[in-house]
């Protein structure tokens, strides 16, 4: 497939074909929505209820980083003269991605969300490495670095739970069962025709199914390393 390889600066945006303009603004807006979607689920509930003061500080820090990621994607939209600050007050039920409509009643949910959903976030952001929209490279390295921190914190918290006894292990398993399926769904439908267009315009690097396959290959051994059972992937096959 021939791939568009120019680097587009904001000043050139309006000279680009409508399709490029639409795909880029869609991609940036969905990412902004996903970045702020997490904090909207857990900040109120977990910032001051996480198990230790270190964990409370960590929840606050993770939330602050996610808000900053959202800010950066809104800023990139701003470079195109697009104001999507409406995303900040969008009700949870209207979030772009179903994962951010869920609840997080248990600490194990916060942990599994970090390990599994922030991991999908890392995959989504990884699509933007060497994006044809030039300004992305100004923001992406720090965002990706911070996502890795969220993921490893989630993993460590799940590990703590699995080692804490039968109750902790059961809670960790239930949370992994829930969020793994939610995560798989976040990659979008296999064979998506829009993804082909993103690839052609140099806005993504992998198809949904390729990214999902790599994700399962990376994450399933980690679930096993925690001594947990890998959930049945087919349980949430909305994406197929
Ligand atoms: Fe983020
Ligand atoms: Fe994150």
Q: What is the DSSP string of 3-63?
A: -----B-GGGGGGS-HHHHHHHHHHHHHHHHHHHHHHHHHHHHHTTTSSSHHHHHHHHHHH
Give the pLDDT mean for 44-48.
98
- Other CB atoms within a 10 A radius of the CB of residue 231 amount to 18
The mean pLDDT of 87-98, rounded to a whole number, is 95
The pLDDT of residue 239: 65
For residue 236, the model assigns a pLDDT of 62
Tokens of 216: 């399962």
Residue 129: strand, helix, or coil: coil
Place 2 in a pLDDT band, splitting at 50, 70 and 90. low
Q: Residue 14 C-alpha to ligand 2 middle, in angstroms?
A: 31
Task: Tokens 């270190």: give the residue.
Answer: 54
Residue 12 CA to ligand 2 centre (angstroms): 31
Cα(36) to centroid(ligand 1), Å: 8
Structure tokens that stand for 191 in this block: 């064979």
Per-residue model confidence (pLDDT) at position 47: 98
Write the pLDDT tens digit of every residue in 214-236: 999 999 999 999 999 999 988 76
**Selected residue with higher pLDDT from 238 and 171:** 171
Neighbouring CB atoms inside 10 A of 56's CB total 15
- The answer on pLDDT for 240 being more than 80 is no
Task: Report how far ligand 1's centroid is from the alpha carbon of 68 (Å).
Answer: 8
Taking the CA of 150 as reference, the closest ligand is 2
> Residues with beta carbon < 5 A to ion ligand 2?
118, 147, 150
Ligand nearest to the CA of 34: 1
pLDDT at 15: 97
Ligand 1 centre to CA of 10 (Å) is 23
Question: What gap in Å lies between CA 186 and CA 208, rounded to an integer?
Answer: 9
Say how many Å lie between the CA of residue 225 and the centre of ligand 2. Answer: 22
Please state the rounded mean pLDDT for residues 117-127: 98
Per-residue confidence band for 93, with pLDDT thresholds at 50, 70 and 90: very high
Q: How confident is the model at residue 5 (pLDDT cuts 50, 70, 90)?
A: confident
Q: Give pLDDT tens digits for 174-215.
A: 999 999 999 999 999 999 999 999 999 999 999 999 999 999
| Mean pLDDT, the chain, whole residue set | 96
Q: Which residues are in the CB-under-5-Å shell of ion ligand 1?
A: 35, 66, 69
Expressed in angstroms and rounded, the spacing between residue 126 Cα and the centre of ligand 1 is: 12
What's the CA gap between 30 and 23, in Å, rounded?
10
For residue 16, the tally of other CB atoms under 10 A from its CB is: 18
**Average pLDDT, integer, range 157-185:** 97
- Centre of ligand 2 to C-alpha 146, Å, is 7
pLDDT of residue 1 exceeding 60, the answer is: no
Domain 10-227 has what CATH class? Answer: mainly alpha
As a dihedral over the C-alpha atoms of residue 72, residue 21, residue 29, residue 186, rounded to 10 degrees, the angle is -120
End-to-end CA distance of the chain: 23
Q: How far is the CA of 11 from the centre of ligand 2 (A)?
A: 30
Q: How confident is the model at residue 237 (pLDDT cuts 50, 70, 90)?
A: low
């Amino acid at each position: 497939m021939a791939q568009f390889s120019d680097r587009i600066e904001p000043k050139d945006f309006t000279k680009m074909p409508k399709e490029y303009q639409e795909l880029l603004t869609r991609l940036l807006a969905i990412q902004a929505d996903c970045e702020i979607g997490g904090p909207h689920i857990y900040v109120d509930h977990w910032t001051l209820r996480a198990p230790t003061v270190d964990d409370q500080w960590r929840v606050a820090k993770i939330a602050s980083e996610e808000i900053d990621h959202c800010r950066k994607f809104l800023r990139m939209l701003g470079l195109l003269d697009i104001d999507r600050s409406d995303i900040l007050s969008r009700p949870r039920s209207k979030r772009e991605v179903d994962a951010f409509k869920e609840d997080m009643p248990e600490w194990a949910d916060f942990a599994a969300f970090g390990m599994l959903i922030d991991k999908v976030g890392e995959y989504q952001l990884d699509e933007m490495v060497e994006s044809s929209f030039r300004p992305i490279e100004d923001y992406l390295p720090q965002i990706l670095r911070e996502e890795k921190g969220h993921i490893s914190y989630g993993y460590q918290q799940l590990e703590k739970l699995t080692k804490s006894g039968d109750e902790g292990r059961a809670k960790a398993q239930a949370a992994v069962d829930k969020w793994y399926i939610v995560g798989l769904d976040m990659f979008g439908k296999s064979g998506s025709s829009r993804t082909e267009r993103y690839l052609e315009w140099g806005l993504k690097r992998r198809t949904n199914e390729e990214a999902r396959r790599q994700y399962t290959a990376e994450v399933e051994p980690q679930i096993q390393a925690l001594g947990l059972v890998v959930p049945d992937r087919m349980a949430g096959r909305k994406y197929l």
